[in-house]
């Protein structure tokens, strides 16, 4: 058999260039092609290309730290984190005909424009009243609301975060901008939201919230069209967030100590406070873990653990299968009043009120 020919220098340079542009079979090139083809496949690579060459789906998002070498840079491209996005609803009409407060609910991120009337929101002890011409940027979480008479709104509900459940935007939301629709960025976002409504619900003049959440894509073509429209709307939304100084959050670092500490906290029993002695098997000191958590999650490890307990408390209270005292005991509270005070300090509601509103 003859000796296999070696690739020329030109072929090597061409191969490296293809790899750097993400055109190989591995890496993020396939994801970017999918985004360009469909607008938003539900999983969008952070820092990916645009849907039509003019509108970047994700602009100025933080990626990995500055690379030390070309090899490390190419490695970071192949391991770039993925964003999860989803359009949950878009409606334009009289969405909430009742004037009394609804129950406390888990809600996604929401953009609300008030055309007529007004909406009132409450969450974690805070409250706002949105009137005609106002824009409200709602963060995902617990809240309740009520509608004032003759209210008409344009609203978009969406999910935007990392696959590990961390939101892309953590700070700066739950913000009311009085007269926001009169600003240039507000007019741009309102127009984009109205365009999204007409593309998702063609030949429909108005739609209530209940009608919007019941509608679904009946064909693949309709789904792709909807996702492409949603990706274009996200482009405008993120541009507005940049103008308002609302910054995207980095996902949890790929550092081994952080992953180890998170796994340890996720395994820790919820019926007793987390003890630092449980961290003896970590590869770094607990003080270093706390520093990494603060820099990446803006939380301490103890606060992260408390979020786990709070999520379990909400879940058990929603189930309604156990008494509030039993739920408190499961989470390590020997005193019911201590549990009630703890729950109220995190949510703004008592456990009894939260359960009764579900």
Assigned domain for 107 exists? yes
Torsion of CA 156, 351, 304, 168, to 10 degrees: 0
55, two tokens: 């509108």
The pLDDT of residue 163 is 66
Q: Which of 244, 267, 302 is the last residue of a domain?
A: 244
Q: Which residues contact 114 (CB under 8 A, 6 or more apart)?
A: 130, 131, 132, 133, 134, 135, 136, 151, 152, 153
Q: Which of 33, 59, 84 is the last residue of a domain?
A: 84
Question: Do 229 and 307 belong together in one domain?
Answer: no
Question: Do 102 and 198 belong together in one domain?
Answer: yes
Question: Do 287 and 239 belong together in one domain?
Answer: no
The pLDDT of residue 339 is 92
The pLDDT of residue 110 is 93
Q: Which domain holds residue 292?
A: 256-356
140, two tokens: 């995902």
Q: The domain spanning residue 197 has which CATH number?
A: 2.60.120
Q: Where are the alpha helices (DSSP H) in 201-300?
A: 209-214, 220-244, 256-267, 286-297
Question: Do 191 and 231 belong together in one domain?
Answer: yes
Residue 132 backbone phi and psi in degrees, to 5: -55, 130
Question: Do 270 and 130 belong together in one domain?
Answer: no
The pLDDT of residue 284 is 75
41, two tokens: 């496949």
In order of 63, 266, 292, the CA distances from 297 in angstroms are 15, 15, 8
Split into its structural domains, the chain has a count of 3
Task: Report the predicted TM-score, pTM, of the whole model to 2 decimal places.
Answer: 0.58
The pLDDT of residue 49 is 35
The pLDDT of residue 207 is 84
DSSP-assigned states of every residue in 16-69: HHHHHTT-SSSSSHHHHHHHHHHS--SEEETT--BSSSSSBSS-S---SPPPSS
DSSP class of residue 140 equals S
Question: Do 40 and 139 belong together in one domain?
Answer: no
- In this prediction, the residues of the chain whose per-residue pLDDT falls under 50 are 1-80, 253
The pLDDT of residue 84 is 82
Q: Which of 222, 244, 266 is the last residue of a domain?
A: 244
Cα separation, 215 vs 136, in Å, equals 24
């Amino acid at each position: 058999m003859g000796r296999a020919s070696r690739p020329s220098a030109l072929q090597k340079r061409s191969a490296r260039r293809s790899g750097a542009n993400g055109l190989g079979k591995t890496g993020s090139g396939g994801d970017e092609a999918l985004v360009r083809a469909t607008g938003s496949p539900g999983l969008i690579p952070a820092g990916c290309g645009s849907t039509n060459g003019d509108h970047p789906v994700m602009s100025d998002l933080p990626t990995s730290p500055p690379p030390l070498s070309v090899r490390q840079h190419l490695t970071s491209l192949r391991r770039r984190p993925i964003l999860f996005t989803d359009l949950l609803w878009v409606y334009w009409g009289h969405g909430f005909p009742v004037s009394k407060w609804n129950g406390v609910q888990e809600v996604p991120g929401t953009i609300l424009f008030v055309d007529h009337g007004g909406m009132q929101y409450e969450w974690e002890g805070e409250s706002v009243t949105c009137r005609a011409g106002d824009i409200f940027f709602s963060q995902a979480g617990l809240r309740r609301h009520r509608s004032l008479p003759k209210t008409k709104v344009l609203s978009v509900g969406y999910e935007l975060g990392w696959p590990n459940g961390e939101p892309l935007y953590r700070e700066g939301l739950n913000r009311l901008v009085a007269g926001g629709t009169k600003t240039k960025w507000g007019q741009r976002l309102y127009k984009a939201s109205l365009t999204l409504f007409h593309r998702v619900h063609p030949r429909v003049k108005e739609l209530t919230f209940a009608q919007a959440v019941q509608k679904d894509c009946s064909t693949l073509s309709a789904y792709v069209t909807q996702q492409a429209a949603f990706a274009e709307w996200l482009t405008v939304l993120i541009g507005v967030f940049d103008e308002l100084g609302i910054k995207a959050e980095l996902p949890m670092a790929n550092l081994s100590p952080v992953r180890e500490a998170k796994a340890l906290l996720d395994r820790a029993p919820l019926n007793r406070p987390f003890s630092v002695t449980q961290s003896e098997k970590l590869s770094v000191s607990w003080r270093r873990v706390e520093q990494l958590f603060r820099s990446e999650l803006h939380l301490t490890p103890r606060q992260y653990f408390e979020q786990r307990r709070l999520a379990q408390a909400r879940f058990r209270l929603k189930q309604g299968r156990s008494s509030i005292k039993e739920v408190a005991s499961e989470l390590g509270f020997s005193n019911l009043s201590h549990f009630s005070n703890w729950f109220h300090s995190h949510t703004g509601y008592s456990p009894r009120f939260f359960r009764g509103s579900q």
